[in-house]
Amino acid sequence: MATLIHKISINENSLIIDVFDRTDGNIRIEDNGRVIIHDQSVHDSAARGRCEYSSGQHRFRFKIEQLDGNKWAFFGIVSKNAAIQRQSYYTLTTYGWAGRNQVYLNGVQNIGHSENNTPTEHAILIHDYVRDSIPFGWSGRFWNETASDVIKTGRGFCNTKSSLFAALLRAVGIPCRLQFVDINTQILHGLVDPSITYELHTYTDFFNIEQQRWCHVDSYIVDTALVSAAKEKLVQENTIIGYGLHRDGQSEWNSIDNTFIQYVTNSEQNEKLERPLTIHKYGHFADIGAFYEAADQHGVQDRLSNRLFKWIFPLLIMPRNRAVENLRKR
């Protein structure tokens, strides 16, 4: 339930007599269940109380003794039948609150924008929702998913998460467009053994209405938990790209700066790559469907047009998604 929290304790004067009972991750329980302590790792961990509640109103009081300023904690409820896991806020039947004004309903982050939000505030909320509520991964339909499909699938990669990000921006009146380039497939080293050297990559051009200029971003593609684990692996291996991201990539976005987690073309580290991070730029399109309608113009083949690929891809993604999940849980 908490990330990088040094210590949380249940107030002894609380009206509810409950204690911490179970944990998953780098948390230990002390003081007869009244205190949990998270170590200094960057990975999510979870703790649950012992008691069960089925109705009524209940009050709990917690004391957080130390919480790093750029981290957050989640407090919520979940079905007793749901297995405990480190990213418990993604569990179905989970409801609760977290830092940065985040609300989770049935395991999905509620964007929570209001009519009083500026376009910039809308954009940041949408960005963070797409980044963390739709974890990085693949579905059997490859790129061919609508925004609603992506939400139902519950995971996505650059093509599908960009489609969702753009749809949500447009829903609140923010102009945007999708850019299509190619990217070195070593970006997926450790998750996928690619058979090709470059793959189609999608990022979003967001129009900052307040500043009247375009901003380029793909920092929503990889969820925060995976970013932490993947960067740790890249540092250990002294590798520039892999595990779904670039070592110099950023996943926090302020709606002003160009921010990338994968398509980091301005990194000095790119000189160390065996082959360039990118070669081709195909331009911007309204959506990925429009891009593939013009595929003959830029020489990119839609692999979904191949019946064998369309049949076998759902099987190929199973080990990929397992690799992602195993890394995320490290």
- pTM above threshold 0.85: no
Of the three residues 80, 110, 140, the one that is the final residue of a domain is 110
Average the pLDDT over 243-269 and give the result: 96
Task: Tell me, yes or no, whether 129 and 212 share the same domain.
Answer: yes
Task: Tell me, yes or no, whether 85 and 154 share the same domain.
Answer: no
Average the pLDDT over 249-257 and give the result: 94
Closest to 87 (Cα-Cα) out of 24, 28, 37: 24
Closest to 51 (Cα-Cα) out of 22, 74, 89: 22
pLDDT at position 222 is 97
Task: Tell me, yes or no, whether 163 and 277 share the same domain.
Answer: yes
pLDDT at position 300 is 79
pLDDT at position 50 is 87
Of the three residues 83, 110, 137, the one that is the final residue of a domain is 110
Six-digit token string for 156: 């996505």
- Report d(CA 316, CA 324) in Å as an integer: 13
pLDDT classification of 104: cutoffs 50, 70, 90: confident
pLDDT at position 245 is 97
Average the pLDDT over 131-142 and give the result: 90
How many domains does the chain fold into? 2
- Worst-scoring range by mean pLDDT, 22-31, 223-232, 252-261? 22-31
Rg (CA), the chain: 21
Task: Tell me, yes or no, whether 235 and 94 share the same domain.
Answer: no
Residue 267 structural domain:
119-328
182-216, pLDDT tens digit by residue?
999 999 999 988 888 999 999 999 999 989 999 99
Of the three residues 59, 77, 110, the one that is the final residue of a domain is 110
41-71, pLDDT tens digit by residue?
767 788 998 888 876 677 777 888 877 665 6
Do strands 176-184 and 198-208 pair parallel, antiparallel, or not at all (unpaired)?
A: antiparallel
